[in-house]
């Protein structure tokens, strides 16, 4: 790595400033906002990404419509893809942030802000890693293309459009997970259970299917009974002027056991005091606080990727309808129908209908694949961690969108997972270390 150290060191501050520029753009989904499919801010983030890349002397292209963009360097028929996204999840309750989510802040060696870890920060680390190679005079025998998507946190519509219109990389990676390397990702199934509202109190809870809700504000009737039951159950809450805020702990839906689901807590308490909402009864009686939903599915797991996980992400009850949003991560060797059938049956017992919201099939790349072997070797050599082994995860990354693609960093073993949480941050020294790894990895992949 000594041959690139000078260039990498010089680029650390410019990279950090580029991340800050992107974090200042609140690029969460606003359907059709200002004439753009995912909202004006997502468009602005994609435009900013290609502007940064162009300043670094990459060839760039942006569709201008808010779906996707790319930046490329090098020559040759084959192409290495570095795939990531410029959209983010909503910030949630501003009161839970020490500093505003879209005002990047440095404290104690950490860079705070929505998107610092997922995925604006890592994409800039990889982009500037390639710039280090460019500044060192490296000849790229394969092209390196950065692909920026605009809808990763929801339906992948930006990537779908890219795949329909553009060249597919020969192989590649996404810097949107963990080191040393992710070779398997569970299936992701998101569904809505729904029914007409027949007298249930209205509520609008949760921010995204793929986030464990850290709070749930109830403004309906019987609040004294609710707080008494919450006290009895030992569930934390705050009494507000206009309602009761049930407290949990936010987390990513791929690791729901790291959070505490506030919607589930509220539902359990409401069901206990007689709330007749079908969705409330389903949550309380069929799921409870079990992040594996074994009452519905029984034990479901495999040796490659572990157990099924089940997250209640959103609950909306209007005067007309109840809608419950669920995110499931399903073992890679399981079949979709093994989940859909039992869930439909369980929902029907509570008078709920089933609707598929999104489906992403699993990723599984052989440990013998040259891409996996190369990236794992680079990680081990750069870090000195000779015992590092490939991982299987519940998270869903862009790696599964393309053949011969895996997730590779930026989080190191034991580092905090702050994506989708309040006070999201990335440790700067670790991000600089990830730059070192990406520089060597891309160098080898282009040989």
For residues 407, 413, 419, 421, the Cα torsion angle rounded to the nearest 10 degrees is: 160
Cα distance between residue 216 and residue 249, in whole Å: 11
- The model's pLDDT over 16-25, given as tens digits with 9 standing for 90+, comes to 999 999 999 9
3-state secondary structure 311-328: EEEEEEECCCEEEEEEEE
| Active site (annotated) includes residue 231 | no
3-class secondary-structure state, position 439: helix
Cα distance between residue 236 and residue 238, in whole Å: 7
Radius of gyration of the chain (CA): 22
> Of 44, 72, 87, 327, which residue is the catalytic one?
87
CA–CA–CA angle 420, 421, 426 (5° rounding): 85
- The model's pLDDT over 87-105, given as tens digits with 9 standing for 90+, comes to 999 998 999 999 999 999 9
pLDDT by position in tens, the chain (length 447): 557 999 999 999 999 999 999 999 999 999 999 999 999 999 999 999 999 999 999 999 998 999 999 999 999 999 999 999 999 999 989 999 999 999 999 999 999 999 999 999 999 999 999 999 999 999 999 999 999 999 999 889 999 999 999 999 999 999 999 999 999 999 999 999 999 999 999 999 998 898 999 999 999 999 999 999 999 999 999 999 989 999 999 998 999 999 999 999 999 999 999 999 999 999 999 999 999 999 999 999 998 899 999 999 999 999 999 999 999 999 999 999 999 999 999 999 999 999 999 999 999 998 999 999 999 999 999 999 999 999 999 888 999 999 999 999 999 999 998 998 999 999 999 999 999 999 999 999 998
Name the helix (H) or strand (E) containing 255: none
My answer on whether omega of the bond before 180 falls inside 30° of 0, hence cis, is yes
Give residue 252's pLDDT: 87
Question: What residue ranges define each of the domains in the chain, with the CATH number in brackets?
Answer: 2-185+363-445 (3.40.630.10), 187-360 (3.30.70.360)
CB contact at 8 A, 320 and 216 = no
Annotate 271-322 with DSSP letters as a single string.
HHTT---HHHHHIIIIITT-TT-HHHH-S-EETTTEE-EEEEEEEEE-SSEE
3-class secondary-structure state, position 87: coil
| C-alpha closest to that of 53 among 153, 136, 148 | 148
User: Across all residues in the chain, what is the average pLDDT?
Assistant: 96
> Of 152, 185, 322, 430, which residue is the catalytic one?
152
Cα distance between residue 167 and residue 79, in whole Å: 9
| C-alpha closest to that of 61 among 122, 147, 170, 121 | 147
DSSP 8-state secondary structure symbol assigned to residue 172: E
CB contact at 8 A, 402 and 81 = yes
114, with CB counted inside 10 A (0-12, 13-18, 19+), is buried
What is the token pair recorded at 346?
A: 């369980």
């Amino acid at each position: 790595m000594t041959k690139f150290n000078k260039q990498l060191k010089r680029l650390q501050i410019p990279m950090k400033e580029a991340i800050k520029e992107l974090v200042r753009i609140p690029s969460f989904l606003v359907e059709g906002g200002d004439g753009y499919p995912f909202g004006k801010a997502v468009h602005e983030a994609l435009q900013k990404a290609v502007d940064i890349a162009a300043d670094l002397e990459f060839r760039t292209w942006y569709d201008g419509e808010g779906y996707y963009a790319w930046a490329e360097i090098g020559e040759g028929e084959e192409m290495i893809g570095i795939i990531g996204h410029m959209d983010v999840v909503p910030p949630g309750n501003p009161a839970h942030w020490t500093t505003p989510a879209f005002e990047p802040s440095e404290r104690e060696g950490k860079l705070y802000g929505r998107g610092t870890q997922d995925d604006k920060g890592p994409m800039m680390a990889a982009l500037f890693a390639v710039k280090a190679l460019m500044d060192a005079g490296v000849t790229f025998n394969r092209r390196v293309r950065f692909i920026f998507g605009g809808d990763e946190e929801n339906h992948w519509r930006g990537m779908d459009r890219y795949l329909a219109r553009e060249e597919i990389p020969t192989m590649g990676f996404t810097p949107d997970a963990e080191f040393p390397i992710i070779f398997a990702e569970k299936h992701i199934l998101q569904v809505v259970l729904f029914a007409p509202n027949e007298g249930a109190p209205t509520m609008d809870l949760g921010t995204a299917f793929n986030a464990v809700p850290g709070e749930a504000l109830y403004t309906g009737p019987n609040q004294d009974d609710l707080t008494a039951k919450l006290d009895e159950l030992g569930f934390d809450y705050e009494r507000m002027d206009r309602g009761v805020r049930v407290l949990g702990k936010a987390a990513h839906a791929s690791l729901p056991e790291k959070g505490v689901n506030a919607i589930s807590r509220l539902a359990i308490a409401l069901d206990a005091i007689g709330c007749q909402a079908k969705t409330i009864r389903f949550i309380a009686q069929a799921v409870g606080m079990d992040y594996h939903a074994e009452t519905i599915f029984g034990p479901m797991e495999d040796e490659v990727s572990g157990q099924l996980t089940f997250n209640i992400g959103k609950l909306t009850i209007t005067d007309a309808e109840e809608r419950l949003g669920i995110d499931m991560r399903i073992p890679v060797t399981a079949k979709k129908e093994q989940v859909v059938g039992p869930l439909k049956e369980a929902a029907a017992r509570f008078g709920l209908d089933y609707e598929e919201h999104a489906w992403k099939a699993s990723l599984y790349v052989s440990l013998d694949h040259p891409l996996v072997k190369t990236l794992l070797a680079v990680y081990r050599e750069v870090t000195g961690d000779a015992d590092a082994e490939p991982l299987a995860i519940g998270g869903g990354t862009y790696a599964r969108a393309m053949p011969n693609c895996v997730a590779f960093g930026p989080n190191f073993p034991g580092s905090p997972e702050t994506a989708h949480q309040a006070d999201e941050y990335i440790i700067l020294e670790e991000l600089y270390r990830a730059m070192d790894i990406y520089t060597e990895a891309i160098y080898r992949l282009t040989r």
